């Protein structure tokens, strides 16, 4: 798709590339190709997958595990292993990207680290750095839909729900449209 629409992507006034869950991982793994578009107007959406500092520390222990090697027998040539390829602050900074909307919740069932204190510090710092995002505490009730956790929030029905009196939709649309409204919701 990057090749097919290369000219349009290179010349876009506002190019937003995003993914949810595994799609977020895919965006992280393709950042080198995205950077090669040479468009200074690229922004990202990472909904439901992000490597905060706590996740990176834990996942470094898994680098040579059989499961990881099965899932990723070969990494893109600009990656060494999982923690250098999956979406994270360091990964986006490597290619000088500085605008993103990140959704990564303390109770997300794909989050593996149990260091909630470090995760909260890290995700708060990451969301503030990139200018948009949502991070919900473990105590936030599960939003509507068939859920194990508040994993992936930018789809119906959770997109239209309120958390602490603020609609998820409004937080996201303020970031998307670059308005002056609230672009960050962190409730811990």
Confidence of residue 69 (pLDDT cuts 50, 70, 90): low
Q: What's the rounded Cα separation, in Å, for the pair 25 and 102?
A: 12
Mean residue pLDDT of the chain comes to 92
pLDDT in the model for residue 23: 96
Whether the Cβ atoms of residue 164 and residue 176 lie closer than 8 Å to each other: no
Percent of the chain residues past pLDDT 70, beyond the cut? 96
The total of other beta-carbon atoms located within 10 Å of residue 124's CB is: 16
pLDDT at 165 over 70: yes
As given in the structure block, the two tokens for residue 4 are 């097919």
From residue 29, give the alpha-carbon distance in Å to each of 92, 112, 147, 185. 10, 20, 26, 26
Cβ(22)–Cβ(46) below 8 Å: no
Strand boundaries in 10-98, DSSP class E: 15-20, 42-47
Tell me the Ramachandran region of residue 77: left when phi exceeds 0, alpha when psi lies from -120 to 50, beta otherwise.
alpha
Can you tell me the distance from the alpha carbon of 124 to that of 10, in angstroms, rounded to the nearest whole number?
31
Strand partners of residue 162: 167
CB 140 within 8 A of CB 163: yes
- Residue 60, pLDDT score: 79
Q: Write the DSSP assignment of 80-97 as a string of letters.
A: SSHHHHSS-HHHHHHTT-
């Amino acid at each position: 798709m990057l090749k097919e629409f290369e000219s349009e992507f290179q010349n876009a006034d506002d190019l937003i590339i995003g993914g949810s869950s595994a799609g977020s991982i895919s965006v992280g793994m393709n950042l080198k190709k995205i950077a090669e578009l040479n468009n200074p107007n690229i922004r990202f959406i990472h909904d439901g997958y992000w490597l905060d500092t706590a996740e990176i520390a834990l996942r470094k222990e898994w680098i040579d595990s059989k499961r990881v090697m099965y899932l990723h027998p070969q990494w893109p040539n600009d990656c060494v292993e999982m923690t250098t390829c999956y979406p994270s602050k360091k990964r986006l900074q490597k290619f000088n990207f500085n605008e993103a909307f990140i959704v990564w919740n303390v109770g997300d069932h794909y989050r593996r680290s149990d260091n909630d204190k470090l995760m909260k510090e890290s995700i708060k710092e990451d969301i503030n750095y990139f200018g948009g995002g949502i991070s919900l505490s473990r105590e936030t009730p599960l939003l509507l839909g068939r859920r194990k956790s508040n994993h992936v929030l930018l789809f119906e029905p959770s997109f239209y729900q309120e958390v602490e009196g603020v609609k998820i939709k409004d937080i996201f649309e303020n970031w998307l449209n670059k308005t002056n409204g609230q672009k960050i919701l962190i409730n811990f």
